[in-house]
Structure 1
Amino acid sequence: MSDRKRFPVLLVEPDPESRLQIMQILSLEGFQVDTVETVAQLMDRDNWSDYFLIILEHELPDGRTDELLPRIQHLAKDAELIIITSRTEVQNMILAFRNEIADYFIKPVDNELLRKSLQRIRAEQVVSSKLRQTQAQLNAIVEAAIEAVITINRRGMIHSFNPAAEKMFGYTASEAIGQNVSMLTPQPIRENHDHYIAQYLETGISNIVGARRELQACHRNGTLIPIELSVTDLPQFEIFAGIIVDISERKQAEQKQAELTRAVAVAAQRERRQLANILHDHLQQLLIGVRIHLGIARKEAHSESENLTLARADELLNQSLEVTRSLTAELNPVVLHEEGLALALEWLAHNMLERYNLTVTLELDHAVSPQAELTKIVLYECIREVLFNVVKHSQATHAHVCMHPVSDQDVEITVTDEGVGFDPQHLETHQSDAGGMGLSNIEFRLSLIKGKFRLESEIGKGTVAHIIVSKDAGEPESQ
């Protein structure tokens, strides 16, 4: 019978009548029973792990069992204890329950109460056994895991610390277990860690439990480690389990990628400036030279038709010069590099009116205008692209650009129009015919200087583009 095999009981009772009564109840419940009558017989055994329950008479012929409770509990770690006694002293009962016994009966024992107690203990033992089995399996998985796995109790004390955690943090398991997990966190998180746990247990709300977060942890030597943390609440074990991944290599790769992207963007801008210089220093000069020779040729023209042809050629040359001047200014607005962002935006406003009939009013705080070369270039190009999108999509004839501080370090630039607007939930990335750079590229370019981009719009009520950057973002480009 499975119950007999799974739930053996050790009955320690010297009185024959009482022993028979209890054995009958145990038999009816289907338990396998071993019996002993003395302390000597009780302690003379090596199969403590077999028993799920030990029923102890308080006084035996050769000693008292209450004095043996701690030792018995140590030997039979998985067994529950029931005390049966003829004594009615309250202090004996208190002492027994302080030793975490399962139940306490005064003789004569009530059969029904004992039967219900046995049924309750057996049910709890089934659950406990399954939990121990699950925990053993979990421990085996955790010990073999590549990732660092740490479990803590409800008070934040470390319950387990696997080999991968030892390698990551520099502590041995024996050093870490029993310590507050805040030892692995940097300041100021360390000071508030226990409060976070208490708040979660009270409200059930947490930014960490049930989520995956990138944080910093603290190595034994004080070094900060970038980590990805996933925390799960295991209420059946009354613990939290955290899976920790060291993302140092990933962060280094992201940093290198960002630096490479930044270098490419700077190199592209340098190429644009070189192309603008070629247009200005060579092509424009050649066109001006041709125009001079045309002027000479017109003076020497022999017929009206020759003069008209040369005049038409001169007109086309003028248009070509205008195009090259405009292209040179767009590729590399000299005023941006020599005078700064604010004056470059004034030139851009003039250019938008002249070329696209868009009136741009400016409200610029010159005191907060960024000075770093890359920052100036990125902001100028992003603002220009937003204005191109106003021309293309908003059906507005007026836009307003405002630059103002939002903190000691950050500057916000807003571009506002009162056009047709759009539903932000159905926003699609547009490619601007004028600028060749869509809204997604605005976000990309701003990421080079750790800037932020946000659009606010409502159908029929226009659009506001928000650009926020640090005044100190970007490194000055060598000239």
Structure 2
Amino acid sequence: MSDKQRFSVLLVEPDPESRLQIMQILSTEGFQVDTAETIDQLMNRDNWLDYFLIILEHELPDGKTDDLLSQIQQQAKHAELVIITSRSEVQKMVLAFRNEIADYFIKPIDHDLFKNSLLRIRAERDISSKLRQTQAQLNAIVEAAIEAVITINRRGMIQSFNPAAEKMFGYSTREIIGQNISLLTPLSVREHHDQFISHYLETGISNIVGARRELQACHRDGSLIPIELSVTDLPQFEIFAGIVTDISERKQAEQKQVELTRAVAVAAQQERRQLANILHDHLQQLLVGVRIHLEIARKGTHSEAEEQTLTRADELLNQSIEVTRSLTAELNPVVLHEEGLAMALEWLAHNMLERYNLTVALNLDETVSPQAELTKIVLYECIREILFNVVKHSQTSRADVRMQALSDQEVEITVSDEGVGFDPQRLETQLSKAGGMGLSNIEFRLSLIKGKFHLESTVGKGTVAHIIVSLDASETDSL
């Protein structure tokens, strides 16, 4: 809008004295003024859009302007109306304001009041103009935004839907405006969505508003889209604004990373089994063969020095054979593969007592023992590492391992002790001392089978480790 349009005024006043008085006020304040004295002069013009203000006498020589107000407002869409009259009729004043009149003056006009009204109208017009400009800029930004931007009212009805949202969800703006936002949510939560909004408006508590969440949204074709949603409450406008990001590619990349990590873990376990087989099938057999020949040599010796040397060599061979057996069991406990997790944990309990003087009490429900090969291996390794940490840090000689059904789909394994415990805030440091796996590594291994892990501990009151895994583990994870 040009400066002329911003400050042009149409004064419709037949009385010369009153017209001159008003024109002087307008000129003093820098307004450009056009005049008219009759309805005919008023309506016979084609520059309505030039005016930001129309000052209209209620009674003109050729009629009253009551019935013309709406027509004038339609023609001069950007103009404010001010009514002046010689009659102090309250009904007329009320009617004028009902027609969104900016102000109403009764003659004789008070100079200061009239001037202040003009300044107020101009200031409001400037503010409105800036707001419209800002709104236009914001609309342009939202329309050009890469992210989907959606606004809804307090009842959950969609108010705006930018092009990125159209592309993401498959709806056009024209058909989605006025629809409930629940249309874009999965069927499982759709019927309850309005309750979430009502609960927030009543309590101010929400897991969505003011946070960034990963959720699922529903495309027009019914397919689900993984999204990241940020919602802001704008109470001054009585709307919620949401920025929606399609994270399908990110989720696919994460899934590929999980699959790659899983493949590496499976390959590593296969290498361990192969190495264990080599130790068991070849190295141990060679060592046993050497021991047999050594025993034959001992029977044929006559020197005491030779006898001592051969006896010492036999002891070292025995130790070597024992070490390879232990290493084989560590790398690939045969009992785990052949007899299952419960029997492997019994062997582990015996081994912990024999090697570390740690008594491990078992309370195992074998009916819920996982059968998938990778699941068994991961659980065994995690339980073993937790027991090693008991030996290293708990200052106790006893631990309890319990396996039980948590639900129809999940099994929980707990490893507890009544040792010295630790400060949970130093949890990672405590787990990592002396070469332990560390919490992050235990969680990483369990993530391969979609398991969960957490610790509870209090200084002086021991520690409880919780492992939860699904009983539904697919046999495709077998090694």
Normalising by structure 1, we get a TM-score of 0.86
Deviations 1:428-451 (A, max 9, x none): 34446566x322110111111222
Deviation at 1:60, TM superposition (A): 5.1
Alignment of 1:4-15 (within 5 A): 6-14=6-14
Provide the residue aligned with 1:415 in structure 2.
415
Q: Cα–Cα, structure 1 residues 128 and 303, in superposed 2: closer, same or farther, change >3 Å?
A: same
Provide the residue aligned with 2:176 in structure 1.
176
8 Å Cα contact 1:3/1:31 also seen in 2: no
* Worse-matched range after superposition: 68-77 or 155-164: 68-77
Alignment of 1:97-246 (within 5 A): 99-103=99-103, 118=118, 120-235=120-235, 237-246=237-246
1:441 aligns with 2:416: no
Between the aligned partners of 1:360 and 1:337, the Cα distance in structure 2 is 21
Provide the residue aligned with 2:315 in structure 1.
315
Between the aligned partners of 1:344 and 1:34, the Cα distance in structure 2 is 100
Between the aligned partners of 1:199 and 1:29, the Cα distance in structure 2 is 53
Between the aligned partners of 1:76 and 1:353, the Cα distance in structure 2 is 96
Corresponding residue pairs, total = 476
Q: For 1:413, give the aligned amino acid.
A: I
Q: Cα–Cα, structure 1 residues 316 and 147, in superposed 2: closer, same or farther, change >3 Å?
A: same
Between the aligned partners of 1:239 and 1:135, the Cα distance in structure 2 is 15
1:266 aligns with 2:266: yes
Alignment of 1:67-78 (within 5 A): 67-78=67-78
Provide the residue aligned with 2:424 in structure 1.
424
* Worse-matched range after superposition: 118-127 or 381-390: 118-127
Where 1:208 maps in the other structure, the secondary structure is coil
Deviation at 1:254, TM superposition (A): 0.7
Deviations 1:37-63 (A, max 9, x none): 444444444444444444445565566
8 Å Cα contact 1:3/1:30 also seen in 2: no
Normalising by structure 2, we get a TM-score of 0.86
Deviations 1:395-416 (A, max 9, x none): 2222222222333322222222
Q: Cα–Cα, structure 1 residues 150 and 36, in superposed 2: closer, same or farther, change >3 Å?
A: farther
Between the aligned partners of 2:62 and 2:220, the Cα distance in structure 1 is 54
Q: Cα–Cα, structure 1 residues 135 and 292, in superposed 2: closer, same or farther, change >3 Å?
A: same
Between the aligned partners of 2:53 and 2:182, the Cα distance in structure 1 is 39
Q: Cα–Cα, structure 1 residues 69 and 408, in superposed 2: closer, same or farther, change >3 Å?
A: farther
Alignment of 1:343-382 (within 5 A): 343-382=343-382
Q: Cα–Cα, structure 1 residues 87 and 388, in superposed 2: closer, same or farther, change >3 Å?
A: same
8 Å Cα contact 2:454/2:467 also seen in 1: yes
Deviations 1:303-348 (A, max 9, x none): 3332232222222222222211111111111222222222222221
Between the aligned partners of 1:396 and 1:166, the Cα distance in structure 2 is 63
Identity value in percent: 80
Deviation at 1:179, TM superposition (A): 3.1
Please, which runs of 5 or more residues in structure 1 have no aligned partner? none
Q: Cα–Cα, structure 1 residues 411 and 31, in superposed 2: closer, same or farther, change >3 Å?
A: farther
RMSD: 3.2
Deviation at 1:249, TM superposition (A): 0.9
Between the aligned partners of 2:93 and 2:343, the Cα distance in structure 1 is 89
* Worse-matched range after superposition: 100-109 or 355-364: 100-109
Where 1:428 maps in the other structure, the secondary structure is helix
Between the aligned partners of 2:63 and 2:222, the Cα distance in structure 1 is 56
Provide the residue aligned with 1:459 in structure 2.
459
